[in-house]
Amino acid sequence: MAEIKVDSRGSACPGPITDLMKAYRNSKNGDIIEIMATDPGIKADAQAWAKKTQNEIISMEDRDGYIVVKIAVKNKK
């Protein structure tokens, strides 16, 4: 049960989801991935990614100039 922080701020679409995917590959079920991004596409893209890969979005938060998305890793085989 690790918390994996990914800083994807400054990276343009589809960079943040690529960073998320890379973190996901090294994760285990029960881990939480927290990704920070400035690309506004992250919200819809993270939702689509979670739906497709059957993992769960815990929260999405707007902070000062960036967005934080927390994902619970559930579907690692």
Partner 1 sequence: MEKGGLAIVLFSSTADKLIPVGVLSQASANMGIPVKIFVTGWATTLFRKNADKNVMSVPKEYEPMAPMLMEGLKKMNAPSWFEMLKSSKEYGEIGVYVCSLMAGALGIKNKDDLDPIVDDIIGAAAFLEMCSGYQTLFI
Catalytic residue, candidates 5, 7, 12, 13: 13
Nearest to 58 by CA among 3, 13, 14: 3
Active site residue 13: yes
Q: Which is nearer to partner 1, 21 or 58 (CB)?
A: 21
Q: How far is the CB of 14 from partner 1 (least distance, A)?
A: 4
Enumerate binding residues for partner 1 (CB under 8 A): 10-15, 17-18, 20-22, 25, 45, 48-49, 52-53
Query: Based on the number of CB atoms within 10 Å of its own CB, is 38 exposed (0-12), middle (13-18) or buried (19 or more)?
Result: middle
